[in-house]
Amino acid sequence: MASNVNPTVRRRRLGQELRKLREEKGMTAEEVADRLLVSQSKISRLENGRRSISQRDVRDLCGVYEVADRRIVESLMQMAKESRQQGWWHAFGDIPYSVYIGLETEAASLRIYEPQIVPGLLQTQTYAEAVIAGALPEASPTEVEKRVRVRMRRQERVSAPGNPLRLWAVLDEAALRRRVGGRQTMIEQLEHLGELSQLPHVTVQVMPFAMGAHPGVNGQYAILEFPDTADSTVVYLEGVTSDLYLEKAQDVQSYGVMYEHLRAQALNADDSRAFIEDVAKEYARET
C-alpha cells in the first residue's frame, strides 16, 4: 500500500457498517432517505462505498439509527475522515477507474481472465503505450502518457517487498497473437510475461484456441480478495463508460466457479510458459 490508510477500502468498510446498522434497525434505504430528505440512491451509494462519506453523513445516519454508544459513533466518524484522504493515484488527476485502483492496491490476491490483451499488471511500458493509444484513439498524447504512468505505478503492487500481490492470470491465446505495437514490442512483451510467470506469487495460464468454447467467452473479469476478512471479495467487470462491481455472495461464487473451470481447461503453468516462448519465437522468425 502507498499509505497506511486506503481511502477506497476504508469507504467500503464504513458503508458495510452503516448498512448493518440500518438493517439492525429494520429500516429500508427508502425510509432512511425520507427521514434525511435525501435521495434513496445517495443512501445506496453510501452503503456500497461508491460515494464519498462525510462525517456529517455519519452523524446524521447514526442519529436516525439511534446509535447510543458514543464509541461506535466516533469510530465511524474517524473512518469517514480517513475515507476522504487521497490515495497515490489522485496525484495523477481524474482517473476513470480510480475505485478499481484503490481495491487493487489493497487486495491480497487477484484472479483475472483476459481474452484480448496482456493484463495491465503484466505489461511492458511500450506495450502499455500501444494498448492505451489504440483503445483511446481520441486521447491526447498527454492523456496516454498519464495513463501509462499510472499503469506502471500499479505494477509496483506485484513486486511489493514482503507483501506482493498474489496474481493468477488466465489469458486467451488471442492476447498473445494480437499484434500490439509491432513485432519487437510483442517479442519484448512475451519475454517479459514469461519472466514474470516464474515468480512464486505469479501464475500465468494460456487458453489455446484449440480448446474451443469455454467459460470465459463472455469477456474479461477480475476477482479481488482482501487480507481482512471484513472486506468482501469483489468481482470487477470493466466497461466502456462505466464499470461494474459485484459483491453479492451468489455473484462472487458464480464467477469463482467459472474461474476454476477456466484454470482447469487452460494449459498448466509450465506448458503455458513454453507456449508463450513458442509464440515469441514465431514473432522473432518473421522477416
Q: What is the structure's pLDDT at 5? A: 52
Name the 3-class secondary structure at 145: helix
For residue 166, what pLDDT is reported?
A: 97
Domains of the chain in start order, with CATH, are: 7-85 (1.10.260.40), 89-285 (3.30.870)
DSSP element (H, E) containing 22: helix 7-25
Which grid coordinates are listed for 154? 500499479
Residues 6+ apart with CB under 8 A from 274: none
Helix (H, G, I), strand (E, B) or coil at 50: coil
- Residue 148: which pLDDT band, with cuts at 50, 70 and 90? very high
pLDDT in tens, 97-116: 888 888 898 899 999 999 99
Neighbours of 268 (CB within 10 A): 13
2: confidence class by pLDDT, cuts 50, 70, 90: very low
- The predicted-structure confidence for 167-196, as pLDDT tens digits, reads as follows 999 999 999 999 999 999 999 999 999 999
d(CA 67, CA 110) in angstroms, rounded, equals 37
pLDDT in tens, 188-220: 999 999 999 999 999 999 999 999 998 888 889
Q: Residue 3: its pLDDT value, please?
A: 42
DSSP codes of every residue in 227-277: SSTTSPPEEEE--SS--EEE-SHHHHHHHHHHHHHHHHHS--HHHHHHHHH
Most confident of 14-28, 62-76, 121-135, 236-250: 121-135
CB of 144 closer than 8 Å to CB of 201: no
Quick check: 279 pLDDT over 50?
A: yes
CB 107 within 8 A of CB 26: no
Contacts of 20 (CB under 8 A, 6+ apart): none
CB 172, CB 117: distance < 8 Å? no
Mean pLDDT of 74-94: 78
pTM, entire model: 0.79
Short-list 126, 221, 202, CA closest to 160: 202
Can you give the pLDDT at residue 149?
95
**pLDDT mean over 248-267:** 94
Tell me the per-residue pLDDT of 38-74, one tens digit each, with 9 for 90 and over: 998 889 888 887 777 888 998 999 999 999 888 888 8
Q: What is the bridge-based pairing of β-strands 166-172 and 234-237?
A: unpaired
The average confidence (pLDDT) of the chain is 89
Query: Cell triple for residue 196?
Result: 514474470
- Helix residue ranges, H only, 89-247: 98-106, 125-135, 141-154, 173-177, 183-196
pLDDT in tens, 233-247: 999 998 877 788 888
